[in-house]
Amino acid sequence: MTGASKACDTLCAHGISVALGSTQALRDVTLTLRPGWTAIVGPNGAGKSTLLRALAGLQRADAGSVTFIGRPIAQWHARALAQQLAWLAQQGEATGELTVREVVHLGRLPQLGLFTAPGPADEASVDAALVDAECTGWQYRRLHELSGGERQRVLLARALATGAPWLLLDEPTTHLDPLHQVALVRLLRRHAARGSAVVSVLHDLSLALLADRLVLLADGRLRAEGVPGDPDLHAALVDVFGGALRIERLGERWIPVAQLET
């Protein structure tokens, strides 16, 4: 462990490499995540999900390490870590007969453990999460009765219900229509503004450019990172996406514009 890693008091990756089967998904990625909303972007197969899973402690790195608040993530007690980091999976793998409310209740597991019954405080957290994700209206319907977008919001509510300060979300906008994508972005910004940290993998650059910071991955390597207005970041983005887009300013924001003319 280098001296730099000891100085990391948030969530950091130190030169991690991960091989998945015969492919090298991550190569020597070093990254320090700060409070606020960080978006991880990159082309398909860049290793974004793998990076997020490694940061969440779900994927062991073959080389290097991930530390969280100064301690290697592998040394964290599972429940203690879960109370700090909440993770949302990329695709809905949810099966079973649970109702929406019951699913969101599962988010209280890090706080309660397996054997304690939920109390009024937990019910309040569940209610709040349902409100934030805008699922209160159908909280007694079963998960499999919902559409893809509705299900995604329920799973997001589950992540919110943990009350964890760090949210690691893998493609949270999947299946969401524009109305709800915007609602999600507003939610993430609110969450970040409260002092928590949100790390989301996003393939949609227009949303990613609304974040506080961007991290660009390509081919398993860290290509660039910076604020949305950073020109080096823009150059890297254009390069990584093969000149198919350019970044333009629109008022206070930056937007990607498809480059149709060669």
Interface with other proteins by CB under 8 A: which residues?
53, 56-58, 78-83, 85-89, 93-99, 101-103, 106-107, 109-110, 113-115, 140-142, 155, 158, 162
Question: CB of 63: closest distance to other proteins in angstroms?
Answer: 21
Min separation Cβ 163 and other proteins, Å? 12
Q: Do 33 and 167 touch, CB atoms closer than 8 A?
A: no
Cα separation, 112 vs 63, whole angstroms: 34
- Nearest approach in angstroms of CB 55 to other proteins is 11
Please name which of 198, 110, 183 lies closest in space to residue 150, comparing C-alpha atoms: 183
Q: Which C-beta is closer to other proteins: that of 85 or that of 202? A: 85
In angstroms, what is the minimal distance from the CB of 98 to other proteins?
6
Instruction: Quote the least distance from Cβ 143 to other proteins, whole Å.
Output: 8
CA 116, CA 123: separation in Å to the nearest integer? 14
Mapped onto helix, strand or coil, the DSSP state of residue 25 is: strand
Q: Nearest approach, Cβ of 15 to other proteins (angstroms)?
A: 24
Nearer to other proteins, 169 or 236 (CB): 169
Nearer to other proteins, 62 or 145 (CB): 145
Residue 158 or 191 having the CB closest to other proteins: 158
CB of 76 to other proteins, least distance (A): 10
Q: Which is nearer to other proteins, 101 or 180 (CB)?
A: 101
DSSP 217: E
- What CA–CA distance (Å, rounded) separates 40 from 92? 20
Let me know how many helices (H) and strands (E) the chain has, helices first: 10, 12
Beta carbon nearer to other proteins, 81 or 197: 81
User: Of 195, 206, 222, nearest to 254 (Cα)?
Assistant: 206
Nearer to other proteins, 103 or 201 (CB): 103
- Alpha helix positions (H), the chain: 3-6, 48-56, 78-84, 100-106, 109-112, 120-132, 148-161, 178-193, 205-208, 231-240
Query: DSSP string of 232-261?
Result: HHHHHHHHHTTTSEEEEEETTEEEEEE---
